[in-house]
Amino acid sequence: RSRRVLARRPDGVFQPALLKARRRAHDLGVQFPGERGLAYPGGGFFGDPPAVVLDVTPPAGTLGVGTPVCARLDATETFYRPGTVTEVCAKPPAFRVRFAAAPPVWVPRSGLRLLRPLWPPPEQPPGQGTPQESAK
């Protein structure tokens, strides 16, 4: 089954794609428009930021100050840039987004996508993730 997603390109911007395959535990194969083969964006889907995110407008309640997002700066453009919501305006609904290499801009909710993995990360079993001291 194909699912519409945004996938990170090597230059760091996200572009619409179709999720076509999953290999190993964390590699997702996507097909970009106009390309025949599959691409496997680096970083995995639990990376920071994740390599692949859903291409859906987020519910208003999920967008607050500090929320990591992908933002489309112009409705005619297909690329989304990673940023962080820094301010919320209720009327008309708009979100000020700060980018790493550009000044902040106001973006409508329709131009935002949540910058979070497609699925929640697996929980670690108790006792893992903490280094154990070796006996002397």
Question: Residue 90: inside a domain, yes or no?
Answer: yes
Q: Which residues have C-beta within 8 Å of that of residue 57, sequence separation ≥ 6?
A: 109, 110, 112, 113
Phi, psi of 85 (to 5 degrees): -70, 125
Least confident span in 24-28, 89-93, 97-101, 118-122: 118-122
Q: In this structure, is residue 68 part of a structural domain?
A: yes
Looking at residues 106-118, what average pLDDT do you find?
A: 92
Task: Indicate the pairing of strand 94-99 with strand 81-89.
Answer: antiparallel
Higher pLDDT among residues 120 and 23, named by residue: 23
Task: Please report whether residue 126 resides in a domain.
Answer: no
Q: Is residue 32 part of a domain?
A: yes
pLDDT digits (tens, 9 = 90+) for 40-49: 777 655 566 7
Residue 17: give the domain boundaries.
Answer: 3-114
Q: Is residue 45 part of a domain?
A: yes
Is residue 133 a part of any domain in this protein? Answer: no
Instruction: Give the number of domains in the chain.
Output: 1
